[in-house]
Amino acid sequence: MEQAQAATVRTEPTSRFVTINGLRLHYLDWGGDPSRHTIVLVHGGTAHAHWWDAMAPWLVEYGRVVAFDFRGHGRSEWPRPAHYGPVAHIDDLRGFIAQHLRTRVVLIGHSMGGELSLRIVARNPELIEGFVSIDAPAGGPPLLTRLRWRWKRRRQGGPRPDFASAEELIKRFRLSPPGHNLTGQQLAALALKGAEQLPNGRWAFRFDPEARAWPHKRSDWGRVALRKIAPPTLIIRGRHSALMTPSAARRMYRKTPGARFVEIPDAHHHVPLDNPIATAAAVGEFIESLERRADAR
């Protein structure tokens, strides 16, 4: 029944929920034909599934398109006691694909979502038809950036802040790292899609501050040997990104067997927000290459 509903193309997504690892996790479903491809969009840290709203409708012609909310993000449940970090996020995403979608997918991850998705691509290639990494350097961002984020995590956490009005919440909304092409109206809309009005009338972001705390060291969740990546891979970088340097992108491209590389113009780190049409076009060309490869077998 769900697949029949999903086969209807929508420009506006439908919210759906699924229980994975004991948590009620949320995803958006734009519909599309699942018999062609199933495309899974994975957001970055502190973001949510609506980060893909401008890009996802352009992909529906290639198959069913869904966007996943990590635990503690968007409309997904917050674990109590708090349990976050790469290992938990990877387990949730793997479970969503293997237990719920039950089909090989084109997995598309941005930033943190790309780095976490890379672990599934490496460890569970049987789940992956193709992989698109968007501004997600293998091994993480530059050292100075990682040190800044680590310092911020030590200062954050605790109760979720709330605001007297939607207008005050919008004023406090920031993209991290900074640098984007969005108008003030687009930023406000994105902020509200990731927020809610509380029973007391105040406003808050749909994000658990404890999700910023990663109890695992990077060594705990393992490095990925890019030379062993088996599924077809597309690496995308925003031309003006300060997080994924040109050298990091070239290194990732050289080490990944048979990879393609595309640099998206007029885009900073938040590539799907800055230039969704060009990003969707690059992904569409990649999916068409998967189809040509399948036809040639």
pTM above 0.95, yes or no: no
DSSP state of 114: H
Range 2-156+217-296 has CATH code 3.90.600.10: no
Percent of the chain residues topping a pLDDT of 70: 87
Cis peptide before 81 (omega within 30 of 0): yes
For the chain, the structural domain boundaries read: 2-156+217-296
The per-residue DSSP string of 195-244 comes to EEE-TTS-EEESB-GGGG---S-HHHH----GGG--S-EEEEEETT-SSS
Q: Cα 238 to the chain's mean position, in Å?
A: 15
Strand partners, 237: 263
Report which residue type is found at 69.
Answer: D
SS3 67: strand
Residue 175 carries which DSSP code?
A: -
The upper half-sphere exposure of residue 79, i.e. CA atoms within 13 Å in the direction of its Cβ, equals 17
For residue 113, give every residue at least 6 positions away whose Cβ sits within 8 Å of its Cβ, in sequence order, or none: 42, 43, 44, 47, 70, 136
pLDDT in tens, 188-226: 999 999 999 999 999 999 999 999 876 656 555 667 899
Long-range contacts from 180-185, C-beta under 8 angstroms, 24+ separation: 180/268, 180/270, 180/273, 180/274, 181/266, 181/267, 181/268, 181/273, 181/274, 181/275, 182/273, 182/274
Cα 224 from chain centroid?
18
Tens of pLDDT, residue by residue over 43-80, are 999 999 999 999 999 999 999 999 999 999 999 999 99
